[in-house]
Structure formats: C-alpha cells, structure tokens
Amino acid sequence: MAIARNELLDYLNQQLNVGRINDFCPNGLQVEGKENIQQIVTGVTASQALLDQAVSVGADAVLVHHGYFWKNEAAPVTGMKQRRIKTLLQHNINLLAYHLPLDVHAQFGNNAQLARLMGWSTQGTADPNDPACALMLGGCSEISSDGLKAQLEERLQRPLTCYVAKPGKLTRLAWCTGGGQGFIDKAAALGVDGFITGEVSEQTVHSAREQGIAFFAAGHHATERYGVKALGQHLQQQFDLQVQFIDIDNPA
C-alpha cells in the first residue's frame, strides 16, 4: 500500500502534538520528495550513511529524530549539508523529522520507549503543565546502582559512557534520553535515587556526587533508537507500509 505524503504528515503532526511543542528545529516535512509514500526508512539521525542506505533500498521517505535546520545552525547549503540535501533531492526522497515531539510522546516517545525497554514504571513528567517537558519520573524494582548499570549495558547493547554509583538500593528514577544531562539538578531536587540520560558534561559528575544521586550516561544515540523505531512499526501496521529501522551505530 502507498499513502499520500500529506495524509501521512497530517496523521503524524496530529499524533505527535506538533502544534503544542516549541522546538529548536522544524518538525514534520523538512525536505519534500515524492507525493506518495510506500517505503520508509527510519533512523535516529539523517546522516549521510542513513541517506545512502535509504537510497539503496529505494525508500520514498526517511523518518528521523534528528533532522536538519537547527536554530543557530549556519544557513548556507554548502559542504556536508549540501551533500545530504542533494542526495534527498536527487532521489526524490522525503525527509520527515520529529525532535522534541518524539522525545515526550506518551507512547512513541524516546522516554516512554526507554522505560518500556528497561521495565520501569512511569509517573509522568516533572512538569505536567509543559507539553515539551522531557524529564520523566518513574520507578524500578529495588536494584543497586551497579545492578542498574549492568542492566542498561545489556539492554542497550553498549557500555555506559559515564557512571556515578550511589550506596544502597534505587527505586525512584528520573530520565531524559539524548543530551539531557542539564536536568540532573532538577532530578536531584525532586528526590530521585538515580538519573539516566544519554550524555555527560564535566559538571554532571560533581552534581551527582555532591547530591548523592546515581548517574548513568547511557549514550545519546543508544537511548534514542527506540522512539522512531516504535513510531515506524506503528505506521507499518496503521497504513500497511513497508518500514525498516536502520541503526547507524554511533558511540556517543
């Protein structure tokens, strides 16, 4: 089956509450290609490697979490940016990107999907009045911080990039997939035992040690594989499309 691009976009924009979320990039159609879409490649980032794979499988659209045209990015279409956009235009491939809407969605969000993968319960976000709040709160069954580290490494299939242990057992958790390390002080103030995100900064480690909170940097890419993958699987069922998730590994 094929679907009209505009019908697919209307569906996605509505499902993902795009109109209610302020973001640092345009969400939805970023580069226009074919009018009808039958085959979709999903991935974390619209890198050249992902685009090349999309071309080789004959995709009509690429659906990603990290697209282009970020606030503060240089506007000229030159160099790496030119090559990526040229690849899409030459092959008439649509680029669909959803950033924050695909972090915070209750079902397809990266935060919700990480909780699902890890078996954590979710209690909503730190700010229920903000539709873009990406700091999730929830819990796990009693586990030591070493135990949670091992579990994260096993389920995400990669070593943590940074880890700060806390004595005793953890039950209350906060998490934000991707580059969410700036939320650590908010998480500590909310009284959680452990905070999980993708990346780490130098000051994150001091925040964790001095506020007695366990900290896990599990990889920006690794924690953000699951939202777009789940969304793609949903589209496959909903519209009878051919969808494949392609993981272009990234150690960061």
Footprint of Zn ion (CB under 5 A): 178, 224
Query: Shortest approach of Zn ion to residue 220 CB, angstroms?
Result: 6
**Which is closer to Zn ion, CB of 37 or CB of 218?**
218
What are the tokens at 230? 């789940």
Pick from 109, 115, 119, 163: which is nearest to 142 by CA? 119
Answer for the pair 64, 43: CB distance below 8 angstroms, yes or no. Answer: yes
**Which is closer to Zn ion, CB of 25 or CB of 190?**
25
**Which is closer to Zn ion, CB of 97 or CB of 148?**
97
Query: Shortest approach of Zn ion to residue 177 CB, angstroms?
Result: 7
Question: What burial class does residue 163 get, using C-beta atoms within 10 Å of its C-beta: 0-12 exposed, 13-18 middle, 19+ buried?
Answer: buried
Query: Shortest approach of Zn ion to residue 17 CB, angstroms?
Result: 18
Answer for the pair 19, 225: CB distance below 8 angstroms, yes or no. Answer: no
**Which is closer to Zn ion, CB of 122 or CB of 177?**
177
The DSSP secondary-structure symbol of 107 reads T
Answer for the pair 31, 63: CB distance below 8 angstroms, yes or no. Answer: no
Report the residue number whose CB is nearest to Zn ion: 178
CB atoms within 10 A of CB 107: 12
CA 116 from centre of chain: 14
**Which is closer to Zn ion, CB of 193 or CB of 224?**
224
Query: Shortest approach of Zn ion to residue 6 CB, angstroms?
Result: 27
Residue 229 exposure: Cα atoms within 13 Å on the Cβ side? 18
Query: Shortest approach of Zn ion to residue 239 CB, angstroms?
Result: 26
How far apart are the C-alpha atoms of 119 and 142, rounded to whole Å?
Answer: 12
**Which is closer to Zn ion, CB of 111 or CB of 145?**
111
Query: Shortest approach of Zn ion to residue 71 CB, angstroms?
Result: 14
